[in-house]
Amino acid sequence: MKAFESAKLGGIALKNRLAMAPMTTYSGNEDLTPSKEELDYYERRSKDVGMVITAAISVNRHAQAFPRQITLKDDTFVEPVSELVRTIKRHGAKAIAQLHHGGRMNDPSLYENKDDIVSASAVKAPRKGAPTPRAMDVSEIEATIEDFKAATLRAIRAGFDGVELHGANTYLLQQFFSPHSNIRSDAYGGTLKNRLRFIGAIIDGVSETIENHSERPFILGYRFSPEEIEEDGITMQHTKELMKFMKETPVHYVHASLQHYNQSSIRDERNKTPLVVELREALDGKKPLMASGNIRTREDLRHAEKVGYDFFAVGLALLVDSNWADKVEKGVTPNTTFEKDTLPAPLYERMKKNRKRFEEKGYSF
Ligand SMILES: Cc1cc2nc3c(=O)[nH]c(=O)nc-3n(C[C@H](O)[C@H](O)[C@H](O)COP(=O)(O)O)c2cc1C
């Protein structure tokens, strides 16, 4: 099966085409460095995949969205984060840092001064308790681009094999791309071209940082969510333009963040064409496409291969069963009961608190 075959990405050899999907653990130390529990969690799940995309890592002091989220916001974090990198790479997986800014989705309890929660525009997320963010001015936008570059340099120094820019799941990069959350009237808002400007500048800046500072091949990926449910949110039409844009950038792969890897539109329910068909068409074979969303069995993997994905990110299934990849490769059925003993306590407790959501998917505690 293609998923278990070795591959090359951005000049780096991978033992297979599986990735551990990025998953926040809420389990860093209080000083936002990786905790021992977290390292154990990663070590167990890194053994059999080609690459591990870390939990979202905040890039500056405005970027933290979750409690105990790890960070690369300044140089002091390079050394502690390098331990996470060594752990992931111990059994041959490549380590990819997911670089993140939460924007208006930041947990307001983490910020004493509500002015520190920023976004493209002062538009509140349509959810209970969401803060109204402060619109970033141009100098802050430019400083944030620099922060993504600086975090990339720290990721290089910490020994990572690549970075993935978190442009999905309604966080800051997506907030700039979305006509719902970006109502700016300057060069960073309005037209699609303008709404892509921030993302493009980050990609260019990060790519330049890699070129200037990495002596070895270094992967650059981009994660995106193809649609938003808000009336004036992101449509597949916008996302096809995003894919065409990505084709011309130095990113080595694009990563679709979906509920189900083979889902169709959440905006146009009459259209049953799986989104992957349109994504592939727009990418025209120019960039590899990574799947994510409900890949749980060998059959799912085989199907995801068939519908045209190149790489396969696995989240919950690997979180629940740390030996998922090995079992699936050997045709053994993975466990569906959360392994309490191999999960950091805050992560396990958080999952348990939302147990209904996971039980509906067939997992148990
Ligand atoms: C506990 C948890 C934490 C997550 N944290 C992140 C994250 O930090 N960054 C991200 O891009 N996606 C995050 N996700 C989304 C997953 O990467 C993935 O897209 C989603 O779980 C669907 O894939 P799955 O069905 O294989 O789990 C998280 C998901 C879970 C369950």
Of all protein residues, the one whose alpha carbon is nearest to atom 19 of ligand 1 is: 257
* pLDDT at site 243: 98
Of all protein residues, the one whose alpha carbon is nearest to atom 23 of ligand 1 is: 293
Q: How confident is the model at residue 30 (pLDDT cuts 50, 70, 90)?
A: very high
Q: How many angstroms is it from 144 CA to the middle of ligand 1?
A: 24
For residue 223, the ligand 1 atom closest to its alpha carbon is: 11
| Angstrom distances, CA of residue 261 to CA of 28, 45, 91, 112, 248 | 29, 21, 28, 38, 24
Does ligand 1 come within 6 angstroms of the Cβ of 27? no
* pLDDT at site 317: 98
Q: Which residues contact 299 (CB under 8 A, 6 or more apart)?
A: none
List helix spans (H) across the chain: 36-46, 78-89, 138-158, 172-177, 192-195, 197-213, 236-247, 275-283, 298-306, 316-320, 324-330, 345-353, 355-359
Does ligand 1 come within 6 angstroms of the Cβ of 98? yes
* pLDDT at site 334: 97
* pLDDT at site 269: 92
Query: In testing the pocket of ligand 1, which one of 18, 23, 290, 328 has its CB within 8 Å of the most ligand atoms?
Result: 23
Instruction: Look at residue 84 and tell me if it is in a domain.
Output: yes
Per-residue pLDDT tens over the stretch 139-174: 999 999 999 999 999 999 999 999 999 999 999 999
Q: How many angstroms is it from 320 CA to the middle of ligand 1?
A: 12
Instruction: Look at residue 180 and tell me if it is in a domain.
Output: yes
* Portion of the chain with pLDDT greater than 90, in percent: 99
Instruction: Look at residue 129 and tell me if it is in a domain.
Output: yes
For 187-195, the CB contacts below 8 A with 24+ separation are 187/138, 188/120, 188/138, 188/141, 189/120, 189/121, 192/238, 192/241
Average pLDDT over residues 5-34: 98
- Give the three-class secondary structure for 155: helix
* pLDDT at site 323: 97
Average pLDDT over residues 81-89: 98
Q: How far apart are the first and last CA of the chain?
A: 31
Instruction: Look at residue 72 and tell me if it is in a domain.
Output: yes
| Angstrom distances, CA of residue 356 to CA of 26, 53, 317 | 20, 26, 16
Of all protein residues, the one whose alpha carbon is nearest to atom 14 of ligand 1 is: 23
Does ligand 1 come within 6 angstroms of the Cβ of 24? yes
Of all protein residues, the one whose alpha carbon is nearest to atom 31 of ligand 1 is: 316
* pLDDT at site 143: 98
Does ligand 1 come within 6 angstroms of the Cβ of 174? no
Per-residue pLDDT tens over the stretch 315-345: 999 999 999 999 999 999 999 999 999 999 9
Instruction: Look at residue 67 and tell me if it is in a domain.
Output: yes
| Angstrom distances, CA of residue 358 to CA of 25, 158, 321 | 16, 34, 14
Of all protein residues, the one whose alpha carbon is nearest to atom 2 of ligand 1 is: 23
Write out the two tokens for 149: 């570059």
Q: How many angstroms is it from 132 CA to the middle of ligand 1?
A: 25
Does ligand 1 come within 6 angstroms of the Cβ of 99? no
Does ligand 1 come within 6 angstroms of the Cβ of 223? yes
Average pLDDT over residues 37-45: 98
Does ligand 1 come within 6 angstroms of the Cβ of 168? yes
Neighbours of 31 (CB within 10 A): 11
* pLDDT at site 110: 97
* pLDDT at site 16: 98
Q: How confident is the model at residue 27 (pLDDT cuts 50, 70, 90)?
A: very high
Write out the two tokens for 327: 């079992």
Of all protein residues, the one whose alpha carbon is nearest to atom 4 of ligand 1 is: 23
Instruction: Look at residue 179 and tell me if it is in a domain.
Output: yes
Per-residue pLDDT tens over the stretch 277-320: 999 999 999 999 999 999 999 999 999 999 999 999 999 999 99
Please name which of 231, 232, 109, 100 lies closest in space to residue 168, comparing C-alpha atoms. Answer: 100
Q: How many angstroms is it from 161 CA to the middle of ligand 1?
A: 20
Residue 254, beta-bridge partner list: 222, 289
Written as one letter, the residue type at 335 is N
Average pLDDT over residues 217-229: 98
Per-residue pLDDT tens over the stretch 179-216: 999 999 999 999 999 999 999 999 999 999 999 999 99
* Portion of the chain with pLDDT greater than 70, in percent: 100
Count of domains in the chain? Answer: 1
Distance CA 159, CA 12 (A): 14
* pLDDT at site 76: 98
Instruction: Look at residue 350 and tell me if it is in a domain.
Output: no
CATH number at residue 89: 3.20.20.70
* pLDDT at site 24: 98
**Domain range enclosing 118:** 2-333
* pLDDT at site 125: 95
Does ligand 1 come within 6 angstroms of the Cβ of 21? yes
Instruction: Look at residue 302 and tell me if it is in a domain.
Output: yes
* pLDDT at site 10: 98
Q: How many angstroms is it from 293 CA to the middle of ligand 1?
A: 8
